[in-house]
Each structure stands twice: as C-alpha cells, then as structure tokens.
C-alpha cells in the first residue's frame, strides 16, 4: 500500500459498503475490490468476515498499551501504564476492551478468562472510586474468619480493600490457582461506574503448558515466509521488525483474500511475514468454524544469509 490506512474509515466503509468492495478499493486492493463488486462481497461471506476482522482490529488499535517490561511478552505487569484520554464526563462510567495475552510468563497459557466479574460490597467500602483506574492489577486476600462466608476473598486495589469476589465457583478457582505453583491468576479493573460505585474486574487463569496440556490442543507449527519484503504500510523492512521479537511473543494474524494467506504482524501492526498457502487454507477453515487462532513465536534464528528466520506455533482454540 502506498498510503496510510485509517482503521476507522476502513471499518465504516466495510460495514456499509463492504458488499460492493469499497473498503478494498480504499485499501488499494483493486483486484479484490472488483471481485467483491461482482460477487456481492464474495456472496456476503467475505464481507461479514472483513467486518469482524476490521472491527477487532479497530478495538485493538484503540486499546494499545505501553509495554514497560524488557520482556515483550509481559503485556501486563505491576507497573502497567495505559494512557487514558477520556473526558471527565466519560470517566463516570468507564469500560475497557482489552484481552488477556494467550501466553504469559513464558510457559503459562490462558486456560480460562472472565471479563464480567462484579466486585461485591463496594458501596460499603470507604474509598474514592474516582481514583480507581482501568487496567490496574488487583490482589486477592483470603478472609477465612468471615462470619458469612468461610471462603470469602477480598479484592485489594493498591492494598485498599474495595470489596469481595462473588460467592460462586470463581472463589474456588482463585484458591486453586493461587495455591498451585504450576498455575497463575491475574485480575485487573475492567469497568468502573462512579454513579453506582460498582466495579467490574477481569480475571485470567493461566496454567503451565506441559506436554500433557499441549496434547490437548490442536496447533500448527510453521515458518514465516516473505520475511525479506518491506512492510507495505510503512515501507520498512520486515526483517527490522523481526529483530525486536522474543520467543513466546504473541502475534496477530489476518487473512488476506487477495493472496489467500495469513499476514502476520506484531502488536503495533508492523508486518513480519506470512503463513504459507497450505497452512493458511487449514487455518481459514478453523477460523470459519468459529475457532480462535493464537500465533506464538516459537523460535528465532539466523540463516546462512544472516536473515532472521521466525518459526511460529498457531494454537486453534
């Protein structure tokens, strides 16, 4: 591409005129635009998929976080800083759209995730809800002396007691994961309603990716191709972006109908390479069946020409 693509414009064009391929012409993919024009967005299937993918890409772009860890796969940590540009009026009811990384702490994978857990009893706690920031990492504290619930778990925000975990199966899951060295639990503020003093949190349950756990997954191992090309949107070499990767980094993949392959990018949208046609065809079938695809850097090496070779593993979940 010779111009910078505005993700919002691209999504709006796709949403309202995708069946005519207008968004493809905007992306300067004229041959694909013509195909969409004469097939009604590839019989509406391509149009629907593009709407979903561009919508997800737009959400991802507007929720970019600043990584402060030297390990690129540590997307969220105790020092996470996320720029908040919301107005004072918007801050009365604030919600997030982030998603937990599939791989964390090198060998932990996301087993379960919940984004709609309401902290109980916040209205009875003495704290300033206007000071509660989205994405802040939370701590849990067991309260076995609670006269109403022996399994009660406190939710702590910067060591301030703000409420309790709901009295349901999440309680036992948190206890199980905290007490197991091969498991890990992460909780973050996901939504804040200052008017009702309600706080919604997201909880991720990670488990060690042992050989036994790996056997439960369907996945494809492959090597990125066309890594010597330039990024079409920035005109920078893909090799330069590959040089900043680390093993276990999670990458984004997006199906390209004109090449019938998946384009692989980093968290910032920089192009890294592509998945070959045969594996792309298999992955497309999985995705059309409703599966999620998680692409992880498996190995980085150099070839005889001094170029970086990147092997990835795509988990189908």
pLDDT for 67-123, tens place per residue? 333 333 333 444 344 455 555 555 589 999 889 999 987 789 999 999 999 999 999
What's the average model confidence in pLDDT over 221-235? Answer: 92
The rounded mean pLDDT for the chain is: 87
51 in a domain, yes or no? yes
Number of separate domains in the chain: 3
Q: What is the pLDDT of residue 313?
A: 96
Asked if residue 51 and residue 15 are part of one domain, the reply reads yes
CB 14 within 8 Å of CB 24: no
Same domain, 11 and 117: no
Please tell me the distance from the alpha carbon of residue 273 to that of residue 238, in angstroms, as a whole number.
Answer: 7
Regarding whether 222 and 207 lie in a shared domain, the answer is no
Q: Domain for residue 268, yes or no?
A: yes
253 within a domain of the structure (yes/no): yes
The CATH number assigned to the domain holding 269 equals 3.30.70.2330
Long-range contacts, 146-153 (Cβ 8 Å, 24+): 151/175
**Same structural domain, 252 and 166:** no
Looking at the structure, tell me whether residues 128 and 175 fall in a common domain: yes
Check residue 65 and give its pLDDT. Answer: 36
Distance CA 244, CA 153 (A): 40
Instruction: Please state, in angstroms and rounded to a whole number, the distance separating the CA atoms of residues 91 and 50.
Output: 32
pLDDT at residue number 60? 60
C-alpha 199/C-alpha 55 separation (Å) is 26
Structural domain contains residue 229: yes
Q: Is residue 152 part of a domain?
A: yes
Tell me the pLDDT band of 280, cut-offs 50, 70 and 90: very high
What local confidence, expressed as pLDDT, does residue 132 receive?
95
Buried b (16+ CB within 10 A) or exposed e, 229-267: eebebeeebbbebbeebebbbbbbbebebeeebbbbbbb
My answer on whether 190 and 234 are in the same domain is no
Residue 74 domain-assigned (yes or no): no
Residue with more model confidence, 307 or 24? 307
pLDDT at residue number 70: 34
Domain boundary among 178, 212, 246: 212
Q: Would you say the C-alpha torsion 41, 47, 49, 53 has a positive or negative sign?
A: positive
**Residues 116 and 147 both lie in one domain:** yes
- Contacts (Cβ under 8 Å, ≥6 apart) of 92: 193, 194, 195
Average pLDDT over residues 271-286: 96
Task: Please write the tens of the pLDDT for every residue from 293-317.
Answer: 999 999 999 999 999 999 999 999 8
More confident residue, 232 or 140: 140
71 falls within a domain: no
- pLDDT, position 101: 92
CB contact at 8 A, 103 and 111: no
Which of 170, 195, 212 terminates a domain? The answer is 212
> Which residues are within 8 A (CB) of 316 and not within 5 positions of it... i.e. 6 or more apart?
217, 218, 219, 220, 283, 286, 291, 292, 293
pLDDT of residue 66: 37
Q: Which residue has the higher pLDDT, 32 or 290?
A: 290
Alpha helices (H) in the chain, listed in sequence order: 7-17, 22-26, 30-43, 45-62, 169-178, 211-214, 238-242, 277-288
Residue 84 inside a domain? The answer is: no
The band of 283, judged by pLDDT with boundaries at 50, 70 and 90, is very high
What count of Cα atoms within 13 Å lies in the side-chain half-sphere of residue 129? Answer: 21
207 and 242 in a common domain: no
Give the domain extent around 193: 90-212
Is residue 163 domain-shared with residue 136, that is, in the same domain? yes
Cβ atoms of 211 and 173 within 8 Å: the answer is no
4 pLDDT band, cuts 50/70/90, is: low
What is the pLDDT confidence band of residue 2, given thresholds at 50, 70 and 90?
Answer: very low
What's residue 268's pLDDT?
87
Q: Are residues 226 and 314 in the same domain?
A: yes
Dihedral sign (CA 63, 66, 67, 72): positive
Residues 224 and 178 occupy one common structural domain: no
Regarding whether 250 and 184 lie in a shared domain, the answer is no
Instruction: Give the mean model confidence (pLDDT) for residues 269-297.
Output: 95
Please return the burial class of 38, using the count of CB atoms within 10 Å of its CB with bins 0-12, 13-18 and 19+: exposed
- Spell out the residues 6+ positions from residue 62 whose beta carbon is closer than 8 angstroms to its own: 97
The radius of gyration computed from the CA coordinates of the chain, to the nearest angstrom, equals 22
pLDDT band at residue 271 using 50, 70 and 90 as cut-offs: very high
Please write the tens of the pLDDT for every residue from 126-144.
999 999 999 999 999 999 8
Decide the pairing of beta strands 153-157 and 139-142. Answer: antiparallel
Domain stops at, among 180, 212, 244:
212
Q: What is the pLDDT of residue 126?
A: 92
With a CB cutoff of 8 Å and minimum separation 6, the contacts of 53 are 254, 255
Helix (H) or strand (E) run with residue 95 in it: strand 93-95
pLDDT, residue 24, reads 84
């Amino acid at each position: 591409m010779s111009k910078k693509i505005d993700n919002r414009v691209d999504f709006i064009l796709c949403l309202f005129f995708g069946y005519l391929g207008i968004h493809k012409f905007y992306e300067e993919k004229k041959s694909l635009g013509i195909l969409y024009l004469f097939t009604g967005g590839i019989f509406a299937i391509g149009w629907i998929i593009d709407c979903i993918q561009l919508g997800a890409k737009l959400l991802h772009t507007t929720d970019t976080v600043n990584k402060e860890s030297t390990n690129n796969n540590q997307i969220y940590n105790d020092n996470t800083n996320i720029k908040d540009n919301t107005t004072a009026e918007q801050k009365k009811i604030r919600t997030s759209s982030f998603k937990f990384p599939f791989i964390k702490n090198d060998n932990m994978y996301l087993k379960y995730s919940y984004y709609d857990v309401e902290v109980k009893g916040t209205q009875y706690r003495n704290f300033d809800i206007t000071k509660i920031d989205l994405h802040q990492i939370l701590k849990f504290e067991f309260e076995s002396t609670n006269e109403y619930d022996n399994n009660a778990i406190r939710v702590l925000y910067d060591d301030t007691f703000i409420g309790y975990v709901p009295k349901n199966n999440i309680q036992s899951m948190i206890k199980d994961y905290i007490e197991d060295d091969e498991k890990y639990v992460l909780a973050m503020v996901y939504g804040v309603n200052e008017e009702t003093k309600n706080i919604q949190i997201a909880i991720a349950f990670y488990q060690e990716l042992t050989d036994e756990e790996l056997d439960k997954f369907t996945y494809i191992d492959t090597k990125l191709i066309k890594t010597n090309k330039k990024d079409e949107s920035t005109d920078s070499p893909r090799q330069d972006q590959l040089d900043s990767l680390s093993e276990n980094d999670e990458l984004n993949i997006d199906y390209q109908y004109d090449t019938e392959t998946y384009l692989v990018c980093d968290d910032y949208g920089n192009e890294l390479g592509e998945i070959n046609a045969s594996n792309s065809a298999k992955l497309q079938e999985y995705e059309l069946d409703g599966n999620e695809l998680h692409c992880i850097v498996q190995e980085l090496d150099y070839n005889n020409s001094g170029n970086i070779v990147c092997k990835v593993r795509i988990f189908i979940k």
